[in-house]
């Protein structure tokens, strides 16, 4: 798939911009909008040909997923799904819809063979001892003090034995998160307290963060246990910090080979199949909607007011547990009202049986448009969190 050529159109489809962008999409003329078809993909198992259809309609960008079966019959996926992506490593299809493209936590995995969408969390890299799995993502917030937008890195670490998930969230720079030999995580963050860049080690077992050196991260060499960094001063000269000794020394010519990123071969995959051509008069809105079965793989179970509720996501931040709100809306009738006129840190008002309160930065987390709440908020709504158990 070509990512760069459609990035602006994808963003427009997500946030519903009301004007054309660089002629990426044709504007509507007359009753029927003009559709463009992008990201063509042919599924090797079913032979279906998939496209993302996009148009400018009623002063906004719209997008649908359509496909042709082996007999040439065309269908559209349900409207919540506006796009898809293909994992080059394993060929898995991911659908985007209702915030999924921005959601750093979960994925909607699509099986064309079974017309099944399974929402779950995909963890990536395992720790050296194999006891932890890592999922890294990003999310953007608007601070309550100066209304400034900020990017934060999310690191979710799952213990493979009992399934417990711990979250680390911090203002970060895109330098990655690395496993250390002692099964901690190395991260480059911005210290709100020190107001400086800092390199830290995150311990998934305890949830603690250990400062290593105040400075900007340049590189990490796992074999020698060395970090290349620069102090937060104008010259930005490189230094070396040793994880083994905790000491620093000046960077030398001999250190250069350690921190040159090795070239990684691209993963080999079969040549993509040629998808079917799109008929010139195809109108996605007139196509039959393909039936889909949707399911969610629960990650934890909460017992609230003696009722067991399966949760698609739950995590610990320090010693505080956070659980997804959506299942509680179904189980107990919790209502969530989105307040567009409020800043992002107070965008939701929650209510239940006459009780009402704001979901704010103290009692909630908003990741990818999905709300997570803590025990304190639940108590104020009359819901007692009695137990939180992860599923291995």
> pLDDT by residue (tens digit) across 14-47?
333 322 222 233 333 446 788 999 999 999 999 9
pLDDT of residue 57: 78
Q: Which two tokens stand for residue 87?
A: 């994992």
Structural domain of residue 243, as residue ranges? 132-259
Residues 68 and 88 in one domain: yes
Considering the domain boundaries, does residue 225 fall inside one?
yes
Q: Which long-range contacts link 33-40 to residues 24+ away (Cβ below 8 Å)? A: 33/57, 33/62, 35/282, 35/283, 35/284, 37/66, 37/278, 37/282, 38/6, 38/9, 39/1, 39/2, 39/6, 39/83, 39/84, 40/275
pTM of the model: 0.73
Mean pLDDT by 10 residues, the chain (392 residues): 34 31 33 86 95 88 94 94 80 75 69 92 88 82 46 85 90 74 90 85 91 90 89 89 92 84 56 90 95 92 96 89 92 88 69 90 80 93 95 90
Residues 255 and 152 in one domain: yes
Q: Which long-range contacts link 173-182 to residues 24+ away (Cβ below 8 Å)? A: 173/197, 173/216, 173/217, 175/217, 176/136, 177/134, 177/136, 177/153, 177/202, 178/220, 178/222, 179/125, 179/127, 179/128, 179/134, 180/243, 181/128, 181/222, 181/225
pLDDT of residue 12: 34
Q: Residue 255: helix, strand or coil by DSSP?
A: helix
Contact yes or no for 372/323 (Cβ under 8 A):
yes
Residues 197 and 289 in one domain: no
Contact yes or no for 347/363 (Cβ under 8 A):
no
Considering the domain boundaries, does residue 127 fall inside one?
no
Number of residues assigned to the chain: 392
Considering the domain boundaries, does residue 267 fall inside one?
no
Residues 44 and 90 in one domain: yes
Residues 219 and 111 in one domain: no
Considering the domain boundaries, does residue 207 fall inside one?
yes
The residue from 259, 281, 314 where one domain ends is 259
pLDDT of residue 8: 29
pLDDT of residue 310: 95
User: Structurally, how many domains does the chain consist of?
Assistant: 3
Q: Which residues pair with 390 in a beta bridge?
A: 300
Considering the domain boundaries, does residue 265 fall inside one?
no
């Amino acid at each position: 798939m070509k990512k760069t050529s459609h990035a602006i159109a994808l963003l427009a489809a997500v946030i519903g911009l009301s004007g054309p962008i660089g002629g990426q999409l044709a504007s509507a003329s007359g009753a029927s909008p003009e559709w463009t078809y992008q990201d063509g993909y042919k599924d090797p198992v079913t032979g279906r040909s998939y496209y993302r259809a996009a148009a400018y309609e009623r002063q906004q960008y719209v997008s649908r997923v359509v496909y042709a079966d082996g007999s040439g019959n065309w269908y559209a996926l349900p409207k919540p799904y506006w796009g898809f992506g293909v994992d080059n490593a394993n060929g898995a299809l991911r659908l985007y819809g209702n915030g999924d493209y921005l959601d750093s936590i979960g994925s909607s995995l699509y099986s064309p063979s079974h017309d099944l969408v399974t929402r779950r969390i995909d963890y990536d890299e395992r720790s050296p001892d194999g006891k932890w799995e890592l999922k890294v993502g990003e999310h953007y917030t608007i601070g309550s003090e100066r209304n400034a937008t900020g990017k934060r890195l999310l690191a979710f670490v799952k213990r493979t034995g009992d399934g417990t998930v711990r979250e680390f969230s911090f203002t970060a720079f895109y330098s990655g998160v690395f496993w250390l030999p002692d099964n901690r995580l190395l991260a480059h963050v911005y210290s709100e307290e020190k107001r400086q860049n800092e390199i830290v080690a995150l311990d998934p077992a305890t949830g603690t963060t250990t400062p290593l050196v105040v400075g900007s991260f340049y590189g990490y060499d796992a074999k020698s246990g060395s970090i290349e960094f620069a102090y937060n001063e104008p010259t930005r000269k490189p230094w070396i910090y040793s994880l083994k000794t905790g000491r620093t020394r000046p960077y030398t010519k001999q250190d250069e080979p350690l921190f040159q990123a090795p070239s990684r071969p691209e993963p080999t995959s079969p040549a993509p199949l040629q998808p079917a051509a799109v008929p010139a008069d195809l109108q996605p809105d007139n196509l039959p909607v393909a039936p889909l079965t949707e399911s969610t793989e629960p990650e934890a179970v909460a017992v609230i007011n003696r009722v067991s509720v399966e949760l698609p996501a739950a995590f610990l931040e320090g010693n505080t547990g956070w659980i997804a709100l959506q299942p509680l809306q179904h189980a107990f009738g919790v209502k969530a009202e989105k307040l567009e006129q409020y800043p992002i840190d107070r965008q939701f008002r929650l209510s239940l049986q006459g009780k009402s309160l704001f979901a704010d930065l103290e009692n909630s987390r908003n990741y990818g448009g999905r709300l997570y709440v803590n025990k304190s908020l639940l108590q104020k709504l009359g819901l007692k969190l009695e137990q939180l158990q992860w599923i291995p």
